[in-house]
Amino acid sequence: MVDHLFKTTIRHWDEAMRAIGAQALRKLAELDLERNLAEMIARCTSLIRAIDSTDVHGAVLTLTQLSLAILECPSPSSFEGQRQKVNNFELSELYLFVDSFR
> Tens digits of per-residue pLDDT, 58-68?
999 998 898 88
Nearest to 58 by CA among 12, 4, 91, 2: 12
First-to-last alpha carbon distance for the chain, in angstroms, is 37
What's the predicted TM-score (pTM) here? 0.78
Instruction: Identify the domain containing residue 95 by its residue range.
Output: 2-99
Nearest to 62 by CA among 30, 24, 22, 94: 22
43-64 mean pLDDT: 89
Is residue 99 scored above 90 in pLDDT? no
Provide the pLDDT for residue 38.
Answer: 85
Mean pLDDT computed over every residue of the chain: 84
Is 70 in contact with 78 (CB distance < 8 Å)?
A: no
Is residue 18 over pLDDT 60? yes
Residue 6: partners with Cβ closer than 8 Å, 6 or more residues away: 25, 43, 47
Checking if the pLDDT of 14 tops 70, the result is yes
Q: Are 20 and 9 in contact (CB under 8 A)?
A: yes
What's the number of domains the chain is made of? Answer: 1
Residue 102 has pLDDT above 90, yes or no: no
